Structure 1
Amino acid sequence: MLCICGCVPENRLQVVKGLKDVEVSECESCSFEVTLNLAYIEGVWTRDGMQLKSKPNCRISMHGRRHSLILTRAAIGDAGLFSFQANGIQTSGRLSVRVRDIHIVKELEDVDTVERQPVSFMCEVNQVDVDGRWYRDDSRIRPGDNIKIRHQGKCDQTHGLYRNNSLRNINTPWCLLQVCKETLNGNKYKTRLKSNK
């Protein structure tokens, strides 16, 4: 709306700083920020047209003229077109999320052991917070009373499988050339567990 003199009214809402495209790797944090010329204006955030609400991994806030959205631990599914809308104005920016380059730093090794003795496998990858799964042949191994699975590490991540054979039922043998595998980011890494009798 123009005033009689043809000037733009000072209270007309405008975007001072709009959204920009952002590119991050999986599990990294990123932020979108909008600055308006007026303070305390309610707005709506969307991703690909769907409204977003504030939650632990998606924090939405407003401080005077500044509106921000912060994503923690971005996932591939978070990629899309982010938009901010308020009272007829809109600004948008696209989020691209790169797949992490995950590879084995220390591979699984063959283990020779005596029946009914504890045994452990260790595998180290170059990224933290990697979802690893252990298998014996093609059957997934899950934690139990005599099987422990641990992930630890701040820089590289160590995946460990520990079995206390002294607790097992002797009628359900574990050893004897079984193949133990771990799946990391879609790739499988194998080792063989050999039993000495």
Structure 2
Amino acid sequence: FLTFFCLLFSFFVYFCAGAEHESVLCCSEENLRIIVPLEDIDTQEKSTVSFSCKVNRLNATLKWLKAGEEVSFSKFVVYRVDKHKHTLTVKDCTLADEGEYTAVAGDSKSTAELVISEAPTDFSVHLKDQTITEFEDAEFTCKLTKEKANVKWYRNGREIREGPRYSIICTLRIKECRPDDECEYACGVDEKRSRARLFVEGELLQVLLYDIEEPKLDVDSSYSNNVVVMAGEVFKLEANVTGRPIPSLVWTKEEKELEDTAKIEIKSSDFHTTLINKDSLRRDGGAFTLTASNPGGFAKFTFNVKVLDRPGPPDSLTVTDVTAEKCVLNWLHPTHDGGAKIEYFIIQRRETSRLTRFK
């Protein structure tokens, strides 16, 4: 007798002839097919991703499609084969690479989706301090990771509007600088900031150095006490400021600088500043410090804010010594007192047969 093994389903014909018998063995090749499919991928711009699948033959060649069209390979789109595994790699992804990718192996196909989210804009080159001579033009320049971005510029925390003296793109140009232009400038995109200072030198500046006035804060006397508000309310902190040159104004809480956001609105002009906190929560309370500074020195004032809320329920309520005439109630103070000392408790009683309560 003869024994035959057909490996990899290759097509062969074997003949066996003997004195009394003759046999023919035929082996046909299995169709190329995908045995491990592609998987969907979610990623961000600038990242590198790889689609992988496996087929039932060694070192076969697959066709790759994107949105029904054959993929062109390059240094950014690379196809690799490792035995049964086939991989398509897309490097440095852009939004144009998003779409449906298909691996084709004979009559077998596998499709997966590439979803690319937009990466946040950031600064690739930050602002730098500038020192210029009076009446010259000053220029602050930064670079962003994206060509098109909504850029805002700030002078001492106050947004700058484009006008005859300010020309804005990703470069802020200040024409014919004067001594009172000396302060901090910032460029903002989304929630990110890049800051730098402008220093103005010249004969006029040297004369003004003899007329420096240290900052002073003028705060309403009502702010000497705690500012108390209820949860959900709005509280406003404000102050007037004097000084020469015009002081820089900075709001901080727990030594962290505060910025203008949807919840906290900061409005500052040369001699006045206001902080408004919306939809107050208990955690919004605390010490808010306003600092005004210039070459003559600095001034500070701390506003103490307390946000009150309803206290929580009493803890560990127990009923003991129950008789027809009396019972004993015991409980602990609530975990949260709502921000104020609990002065008393109210106990209410009702008959089990009635819905109304009475003291």
TM-score by length of 1: 0.57
Contact 2:139 2:174 in 1 (8 A): no
Aligned equivalents of 2:76 and 2:137: distance in 1? 40
**What pairs up with 1:1-197 in 2 under 5 angstroms?**
11-103=30-122, 113-114=132-133, 120-123=139-142, 130-132=145-147, 177-182=165-170, 191-196=172-177
SS of residue matched to 2:86: strand
- Match of residue 170 from structure 1: none
Q: Which has the larger radius of gyration?
A: 2
Same amino acid, percent of matched pairs: 17
Shift of 1:42: 1.7
Runs of 4+ in 1 over 4 A off after TM superposition: 103-112, 115-120
SS of residue matched to 1:195: coil
Aligned equivalents of 1:14 and 1:39: distance in 2? 11
Contact 1:46 1:52 in 2 (8 A): yes
Q: CA 1:63–1:117 in structure 2 vs 1: closer, same or farther (change >3 Å)?
A: farther
Aligned equivalents of 1:107 and 1:177: distance in 2? 22
> Gaps spanning 5+ residues in structure 1: where?
1-8, 134-175, 183-189
Shift of 1:12: 3.3
- Match of residue 282 from structure 2: none
- Match of residue 153 from structure 1: none
Give CA-to-partner distance per residue, 1:46-78, whole Å, 9 cap, x none. 000010121011001212211111001111111
Contact 1:112 1:193 in 2 (8 A): no
Q: Which has the higher contact order (CA 8 A, sep 6+)?
A: 1
Shift of 1:124: 6.5
Count of paired positions? 136
TM-score by length of 2: 0.33
Contact 2:36 2:54 in 1 (8 A): yes
Shift of 1:180: 3.0
Q: CA 1:66–1:105 in structure 2 vs 1: closer, same or farther (change >3 Å)?
A: closer
Shift of 1:104: 5.8
SS of residue matched to 1:77: helix
- Match of residue 216 from structure 2: none
> Gaps spanning 5+ residues in structure 2: where?
1-27, 149-163, 179-359
Q: CA 1:177–1:34 in structure 2 vs 1: closer, same or farther (change >3 Å)?
A: same
- Match of residue 280 from structure 2: none
Shifted more, 69-78 versus 116-125: the winner is 116-125
Aligned equivalents of 2:54 and 2:41: distance in 1? 17
Q: CA 1:40–1:103 in structure 2 vs 1: closer, same or farther (change >3 Å)?
A: closer
Shift of 1:121: 2.2
* Matched residue type, 1:181: I
Shift of 1:30: 0.3
Q: CA 1:116–1:34 in structure 2 vs 1: closer, same or farther (change >3 Å)?
A: farther
Aligned equivalents of 1:53 and 1:105: distance in 2? 31
* Matched residue type, 1:92: T
* Matched residue type, 1:83: T
